[in-house]
């Protein structure tokens, strides 16, 4: 049982995109502060990773809303048959 939990991601399951975006943003900021990249490159990385984060977040919200609406339709169909 424990190995299955590890294989499927454990308590971080489903949060990989958020973690990678956060680490990427921190590394872009650190690279700018150290002097490895210029401001344009750092901002380009930050906006790209931020876009990935919010794109994933909006997709989850849409799926939750869609799941709620489909559940209501199926429940109303069951009630009409009775």
Q: Which two tokens stand for residue 9?
A: 């991601």
Degrees to nearest 5, angle at CA 18 with 12 and 23: 105
- Average pLDDT for residues 59-67, to the nearest whole number? 66
> Under a CB-based contact definition with an 8 Å cutoff, are residues 53 and 21 in contact?
yes
Domain boundaries, given as residue ranges, for the chain: 12-81
Distance (Å, whole) CA 69 – CA 63 = 10
Over residues 8-43, the pLDDT tens digits come to: 777 777 778 888 889 999 999 999 999 999 999 999
pTM to 2 decimals?
0.60
């Amino acid at each position: 049982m424990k190995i299955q939990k590890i294989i499927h991601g454990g308590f971080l399951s489903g949060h990989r995109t958020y973690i990678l975006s956060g680490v990427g943003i921190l590394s872009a900021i650190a690279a700018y502060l150290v002097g490895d990249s210029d401001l344009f490159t750092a901002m380009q990385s930050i906006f790209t990773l931020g876009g990935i984060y919010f794109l994933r977040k909006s997709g989850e919200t849409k799926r939750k809303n869609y799941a709620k609406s489909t559940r209501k339709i199926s429940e109303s169909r069951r009630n009409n048959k009775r």
